[in-house]
Structure 1
Amino acid sequence: MDATEGAVTPAMRHKARHFALQAIYQWQLTQLSPTEIERQFLEDQPVRGADLDYFHDLVSGVVNNVSEIDETYAPHLSRPLEDLDQIDKAVLRLGTFELLYRQEVPYRVVINESIILAKEFAEQDSHKFVNGVLDKVIKAIK
């Protein structure tokens, strides 16, 4: 949690996902360790108000489980994994991680948050692609 004590709010979780997506994208491009990327984010980004524990869980969870995550969503892609835009890949990795490893979070929340992040960071229609892939992931893991 951040400096303000109390319950974790949806807004704090959203900020954690927002920063985690950026950190995962950075990791994909640089292959720096998750620890180094987290350190940079905590120093350089306005992370105030984010659930920092969740941010840590998301970044380290995606990096440490990337093979299983990619194997989970890749069969539902309309193109080869290597051809995915890096932002789309980061959004799909983040969403798939939550679907697999954070099952206390309702899948509708995960998909909705992934769509919001895709609209915020990715190409114009990426949110539709992300929605379709994660919807198929949900059906496959249920």
Structure 2
Amino acid sequence: MSDPTHNSAGADPGATPNPTSKMARRRARELALQGVYQWLLSGNSMTTVQRNIEAEAENLDKVDRELFVSLLRGALENADELRTGFSPLIHRPVAELSPIEHAILLLGAHELRHNIETPYRVVINEAIELAKSYGGTDGHKFVNGVLDKLAARLRPKEVEAARKAKG
């Protein structure tokens, strides 16, 4: 992974990173994952979870805060609906998912369903990266398979166009 303190050529080395940069969005997804994970394990309210994550997070100024809040709140507020969407694709009860995989699937499903401006390939890739960093050995393969199938259901035109363009 690239050094998050390194700015591109021509940028002021002491400048604060753009909060909507790729790194800021990735960090927002990481914090949202921590929040959903905490919620799954603790059962705390969404407000409590958000406060805890924000209080514990380092370099919060380098996070796309709007994306963090949107992902966390969206995944938690719509958890039942999101589970209904991916449950038929996992071939086991949701209760048997690891909390990390469960949290990543909630975030990915939310982003696929509600963040249409984010290309489905980006959503899936970011979920895979989270699974590689925080999940079990082959968790990223599982997440990839589930979200790829879910994307085909939720965004059929986008997925079909991408597959045709790929050849």
In the superposition, the TM-score normalised over structure 2's length comes to 0.80
Deviation at 1:44, TM superposition (A): 1.4
What does residue 37 of structure 1 align with? 49
Give the Cα–Cα distance (whole angstroms) in 2 for the partners of residues 6 and 44 of structure 1: 21
Root-mean-square deviation over aligned CA pairs: 1.3
- Partner SS, residue 62 of structure 2: coil
Matched, 1:117 2:127: no
- Partner SS, residue 48 of structure 1: helix
Provide Cα deviations, 1:16-71, integer angstroms capped at 9, x if missing partner.
Answer: 00010010000001111111111111111213311111111111111110111001
- Partner SS, residue 79 of structure 1: coil
What does residue 71 of structure 2 align with? 58
In the superposition, the TM-score normalised over structure 1's length comes to 0.93
Deviation at 1:78, TM superposition (A): 2.3
Give the Cα–Cα distance (whole angstroms) in 2 for the partners of residues 77 and 37 of structure 1: 27
What does residue 71 of structure 1 align with? 84
What does residue 134 of structure 1 align with? 147
Q: Matched residues, percent identical?
A: 40
Higher relative contact order (CA 8 A, sep 6+): 1
Task: Provide structure 2 residue ranges, at least 5 long, that are not aligned to the other structure.
Answer: 1-15, 157-167
Task: Provide structure 1 residue ranges, at least 5 long, that are not aligned to the other structure.
Answer: none
What does residue 8 of structure 1 align with? 20
Letter of the structure 2 residue corresponding to residue 66 of structure 1: A
CA 1:43–1:72: 2 relative to 1, 3 Å: same
What does residue 93 of structure 1 align with? 106
Which stretches of structure 1, 4 residues or longer, exceed 6 Å deviation after superposition? none
Mark the structure with the bigger radius of gyration: 2
